[in-house]
């Protein structure tokens, strides 16, 4: 088959440190399948995806990419691409499948063994493993006991993190505690477009705090087992801009920045919650879930902050006239994910767009990385997810000429380099995603992978973007 590309990788104006690493990222529920194999018990995404009407086309992650059985083939593909690191998530329901609100329960040896074999395969291929401990697949038993709005969930998570560190930390040097806790709290408990599908703004804020607490407690537990481990946190930070310079729009942008970014950054990095957000949400919650000593538990030294970026965010004040715009890319729902934001709307941004309907603007990645460097000097940064869904087409010769994805990746890789040139200490970049996969509420209708997956046959085919990315990695190592 013939492969086309746009802009040869060596034509990019990249100025990155020699230690910069290139990788790809995935998540357990999106690729593993084998939902009831190896002692695994249901997660909230099993329950949610099997609930009629929740996921497009009734899709579930029961089989997904069958990575559980095909991981060796997938690692071989990573090696062919020249990946230096691979970020995957560990499915909590595989590790402590009998967890309850009161007890972590016994360790499931079959679950530990699967990830042990995956890590060994990666190391044998010369690929550094980086594990995310929570990528949204909460054990259903814990949701039944209250979920993330309940404090016990954070406590059990810390114990689970300690188990993973003790059992796999001899070969696994990098732990990311949580992936995008904003999504877990706001989409899971606010808008209901993610599992567990609840719509209660008081629960959103309680979940925010207990996710933050889970990060702090887990960081302590990991370091107790593995003092030399690299421990990070991944946030989907938003590049928030007001629609105009009008004071009401500027204030709206400040509130959304607080709810998306600062409610996670501030407690982890400075040991406090943003007072403007506590005050703005007083009608929703009194924040009594924050107990004495919690902020000290949350504020643990962070080795690296993972930044996930896909699309910009623009907001404006809503005057109550006409239909309120919710073009914020978080899925269709009659409920808003945002507590105390009925007076804010998200206007449709100009194109171009990805197939998710997300506006494309690579400047946001530069701006976020530089902001983190400016506000938290010395904090090491990593782009832990960046990529795009497009309507890929398999050509008659079997190739997938996803030139729009190459253009997207090219511009965002350049944006990372621009941030480095401005002083931001960015360690590396993970493309999202290695494989086409289960895209949450969109099921299998959206493809983010640089490797195409035929869901009927499970055949993998490198897209043009995969060849481009492999060439980029090679050029950067020259």
State pLDDT tens for residues 198-232.
999 999 999 999 999 999 999 999 999 999 999 99
Quote the strand ranges of 61-212, DSSP E.
85-89, 128-134, 174-179
Q: Which of 121, 143, 345, 385 is catalytic?
A: 385
**What pLDDT score does 324 carry?**
80
Pairing of strands 128-134, 85-89: parallel
For 458, the token pair is 């499970």
**pLDDT reported for residue 469:** 98
- Known catalytic residue at 385: yes
Question: Rounded distance, CA 123 to CA 109, Å?
Answer: 21
Provide the percentage of residues in the chain whose pLDDT is more than 90: 93
Looking at the chain, the whole-number percentage of residues with pLDDT higher than 70 is: 96
Domain boundaries, the chain: 9-477
Integer-rounded Cα Rg, in Å, for the chain is 21
Q: Which two tokens stand for residue 143?
A: 């949701």
As a whole number of angstroms, the distance between CA 23 and CA 434 comes to 9
Question: Which candidate in 32, 121, 180, 345 is catalytic?
Answer: 180
pLDDT of residue 12: 86
- Residue 136 to residues 69, 182, 440, Cα–Cα distance (Å): 21, 11, 10
CA 158/CA 54 separation, integer angstroms: 30
What's the pLDDT band for 8 if we cut at 50, 70, 90? low
pLDDT score recorded for residue 6 = 52
How many helices (H) and strands (E) would you count in the chain? Answer: 16, 13
Q: pLDDT of 295-331, one tens digit each?
A: 999 999 999 999 999 999 999 999 888 888 875 556 6
Q: Which pLDDT does position 85 carry in this prediction?
A: 98
Find where tokens 């188990």 sit.
163
Q: Which CATH architecture has domain 9-477?
A: Alpha-Beta Barrel (3.20)
Contacts of 119 (CB under 8 A, 6+ apart): 129, 168, 171, 172
β-pairing verdict for 21-25 and 230-235:
unpaired
DSSP state letter for 189: I
Query: What pLDDT score was predicted for residue 321?
Result: 82
Verify whether residue 345 is a known catalytic residue.
no
Of 161, 167, 174, the residue nearest 123 (C-alpha): 174
What is the average pLDDT across 107-122?
A: 98
User: How many residues appear in the chain?
Assistant: 478
pLDDT digit string, tens, across residues 23-47:
999 999 999 999 999 999 999 999 9
The answer to whether residue 2 scores a pLDDT higher than 50 is: no
What does the alpha-carbon distance between residue 31 and residue 282 come to, in Å, rounded to a whole number?
40
Q: What is the pLDDT of residues 419-428, one digit of tens each?
A: 999 999 999 9
Classify residue 345 by its DSSP letter.
E
Average model confidence (pLDDT) across the chain: 96
pTM beyond 0.95: the answer is yes
């Amino acid at each position: 088959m013939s492969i086309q590309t746009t802009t040869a990788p060596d034509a990019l104006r990249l100025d990155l440190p020699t230690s910069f690493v290139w990788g790809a990222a995935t998540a357990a529920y999106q690729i593993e399948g084998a939902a009831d194999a190896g002692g695994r018990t249901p997660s909230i995404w099993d329950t949610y995806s099997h609930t009629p009407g929740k996921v497009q086309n009734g899709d579930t992650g029961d089989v997904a990419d069958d990575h559980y059985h095909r991981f060796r083939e997938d690692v071989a593909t990573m090696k062919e691409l020249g990946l230096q690191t691979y970020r995957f998530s560990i499915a909590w329901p595989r590790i402590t499948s009998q967890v309850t609100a009161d007890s972590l329960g016994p360790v499931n040896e079959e679950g530990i063994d699967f990830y042990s074999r995956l890590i060994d395969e990666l190391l044998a291929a010369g690929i550094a493993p980086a594990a995310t401990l929570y990528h949204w697949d909460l054990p259903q038993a814990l949701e039944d006991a209250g979920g993330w709005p309940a404090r016990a969930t954070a406590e059990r998570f810390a114990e689970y993190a300690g188990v993973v560190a003790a059992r796999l930390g001899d070969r696994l040097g990098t732990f990311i505690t949580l992936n995008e806790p904003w999504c877990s709290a706001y989409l899971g408990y606010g808008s209901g477009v993610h599992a567990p599908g609840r719509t209660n703004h008081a629960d959103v804020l309680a979940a925010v705090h207990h996710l933050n607490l889970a990060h702090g407690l887990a960081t302590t537990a990991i370091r107790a087992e593995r003092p030399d481990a690299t421990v990070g946190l991944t946030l989907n930070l938003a590049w928030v801009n007001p629609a105009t310079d009008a004071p009401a729009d500027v204030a709206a942008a400040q509130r959304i920045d607080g709810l998306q970014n600062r409610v996670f950054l501030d407690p982890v990095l400075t040991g406090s919650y943003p007072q403007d957000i506590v005050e703005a949400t007083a009608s929703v919650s009194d924040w009594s879930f924050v107990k004495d000593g919690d902020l000290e538990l949350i504020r643990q030294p962070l080795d690296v902050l993972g930044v996930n970026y896909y699309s910009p965010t623009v907001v404006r004040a809503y005057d109550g006239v006409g239909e309120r715009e919710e073009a914020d890319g978080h899925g269709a729902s009659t409920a808003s994910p945002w507590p105390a934001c009925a007076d804010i709307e998200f206007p449709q941004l100009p194109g171009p767009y990805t197939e998710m309907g997300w506006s494309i603007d690579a400047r946001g990645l530069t701006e976020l990385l530089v902001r983190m460097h400016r506000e938290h000097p010395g904090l090491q940064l990593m782009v832990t997810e960046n990529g795009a869904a497009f309507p890929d087409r398999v050509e008659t010769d079997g190739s997938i000429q996803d030139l729009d994805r190459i253009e997207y990746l090219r511009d965002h890789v350049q944006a990372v380099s621009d941030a480095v040139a401005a002083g931001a200490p960015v360690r590396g970049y993970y493309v999202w995603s290695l494989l086409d996969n289960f895209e949450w509420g969109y099921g299998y209708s959206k493809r983010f992978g640089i490797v195409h997956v035929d869901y009927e046959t499970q055949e993998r085919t490198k897209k043009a973007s995969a060849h481009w990315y492999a060439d980029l990695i090679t050029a950067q190592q020259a």
